[in-house]
């Protein structure tokens, strides 16, 4: 090809060739294959005799989700699960995070709250929901007589879909969520709550397989064999205070279920 040919002309020429049915790139100068010297036969195979076909074995692809499922399954308690997550090397988010944010509150509480991912404050301190959204969450819980520092029936247990802060608080990617989901499921199984509260779209996506918190909120669903109530995320409520009315209705609904009024 003329080296002076500009980009547009080169592209037009290429498109023309593709249109004409060209499927293979060949070199600029012709090659006379009759003059080419045949390569020496391979060792052990007589000339003219076809070499036996070498079976092509499928290369087993590494599956980080299967690996997560396996290590999560083998965790026997919450301490073991936290250690397994700390050792799990395949989620890129861990590289940019300062801390693994595992949980707060009381393990074994009736209510398990599932947020999305740590933010800056949570990453710094190593606990979920300690920033402004977390303070609002504490006020919301206290309004129905619950709290992460309360005892027995009034306590809650808190975790997130992702234990590491995504850079710039971006939404987690589907592969990151898929890798960490087996750990979340095992977390729920080991914490043994009666009820799950999933806060925000990411948590709904992880546990209910769908987004659309405005439609989902306030309707009891089921995940991991447990009743689930989707709620607005407290960070959303900070940006949209008018939505606190619906959040209050959902809290009352949760309270009613816990006190067997529904
Ligand atoms: N938002 C979350 O979803 N989780 C946290 O831990 C903090 C903010």
pLDDT at 6: 76
pLDDT of residue 262 exceeding 70, the answer is no
pLDDT of residue 45 exceeding 60, the answer is no
In a domain, 204, yes or no: yes
Residue written as token pair 């700390």: 86
Please compute the mean of the pLDDT values over residues 116-126 and round it to a whole number. 98
pLDDT of residue 10 exceeding 50, the answer is yes
Please compute the mean of the pLDDT values over residues 37-55 and round it to a whole number. 64
The span from the first CA to the last CA of the chain, in angstroms, equals 78
DSSP of 119-173, one letter per residue? -HHHHHHTSSS-SHHHHHHHHHHHHTT-BTT--GGGBEEEEES-SSPPGGGPPPP
In a domain, 163, yes or no: yes
pLDDT at 145: 97
Which residues does 56 contact at the CB level (< 8 Å), separation at least 6? none
In a domain, 4, yes or no: no
Q: Of the ranges 30-44, 63-77, 166-180, 205-219, which one carries the lowest mean pLDDT score? A: 30-44
pLDDT of residue 62 exceeding 60, the answer is yes
In a domain, 109, yes or no: yes
pLDDT of residue 4 exceeding 80, the answer is no
pLDDT of residue 119 exceeding 70, the answer is yes
Query: SS in 3 state form for 37-76?
Result: CCCCCCCCCCCCCCCCCCCCCCCCCCCHHHHHHHHHHCCC
pLDDT of residue 163 exceeding 80, the answer is yes
Q: Where residue 16 falls among pLDDT bands split at 50, 70, 90?
A: confident
Provide the 8-state DSSP code for 13: H
CATH code (residue 220) = 3.40.470.10
Which of 97, 103, 120, 128 to probe ligand 1 with, by most ligand atoms within 8 A of CB? 128
Domain count, the chain: 1
**Residues contacting ligand 1 via CB (< 6 Å):** 115-119, 122, 128-129, 131, 133-134, 160, 235
In a domain, 37, yes or no: no
Burial class (CB in 10 A: 0-12, 13-18, 19+), 104: buried
In a domain, 55, yes or no: no
In a domain, 34, yes or no: no
State what percent of residues in the chain have pLDDT above 90: 75
In a domain, 87, yes or no: yes
Entry pTM: 0.78
Greater confidence (42 vs 258) lies with 258
Beta strands in 184-260 (DSSP E): 195-199, 221-223, 226-231
pLDDT at 68: 98
pLDDT at 9: 77
Greater confidence (237 vs 35) lies with 237
Distance CA 80, CA 190 (A): 10
Instruction: Report which of 234, 228, 240, 235 is spatially closest to residue 204, judged by C-alpha positions.
Output: 228
- Residue range of the domain that includes 242: 65-258
Which sign does the torsion angle of CA 18, 24, 27, 33 carry? negative
Residue 243, both tokens:
């939505």
Q: How many CA atoms lie within 13 A of 212 on its CB side?
A: 6
pLDDT at 1: 46
Query: Angle at which helices 174-191 and 64-73 pack, to 10 degrees?
Result: 10
Which of 122, 161, 162, 203 to probe ligand 1 with, by most ligand atoms within 8 A of CB? 122
């Amino acid at each position: 090809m003329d080296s002076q040919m500009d980009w547009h002309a080169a592209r037009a020429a290429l498109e023309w060739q593709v249109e004409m049915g060209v499927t293979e790139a060949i070199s600029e100068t012709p090659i006379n294959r009759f003059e080419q010297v045949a390569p020496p036969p391979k060792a052990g195979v007589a000339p003219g005799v076809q070499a036996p076909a070498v079976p092509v074995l499928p290369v087993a692809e590494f599956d980080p989700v299967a690996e997560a499922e396996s290590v999560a399954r083998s965790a026997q308690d919450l301490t073991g699960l936290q250690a397994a997550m700390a050792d799990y090397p395949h989620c890129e988010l861990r590289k940019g995070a300062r801390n693994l944010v595992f949980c707060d509150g009381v393990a074994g509480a009736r209510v398990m709250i599932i947020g999305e991912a740590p933010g800056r404050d949570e990453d710094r301190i190593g606990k979920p929901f300690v920033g402004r959204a977390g303070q609002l969450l504490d006020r919301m819980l206290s309004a129905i007589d619950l709290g992460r520092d309360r005892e027995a029936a009034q306590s809650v247990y808190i975790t997130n879909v992702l234990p590491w802060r995504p850079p710039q608080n971006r939404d987690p990617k589907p592969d990151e969520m898929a890798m960490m989901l087996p750990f979340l499921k095992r977390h729920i199984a080991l914490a043994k709550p009666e009820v799950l509260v999933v806060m925000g779209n990411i948590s709904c996506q992880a546990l209910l397989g769908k987004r659309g918190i405005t439609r989902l909120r306030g309707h009891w669903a089921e995940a991991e064999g447990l009743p689930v109530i989707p709620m607005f995320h407290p960070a959303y409520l900070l940006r949209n205070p008018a939505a606190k009315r619906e959040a209050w209705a959902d809290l009352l609904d949760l309270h009613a279920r816990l006190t067997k009024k529904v």
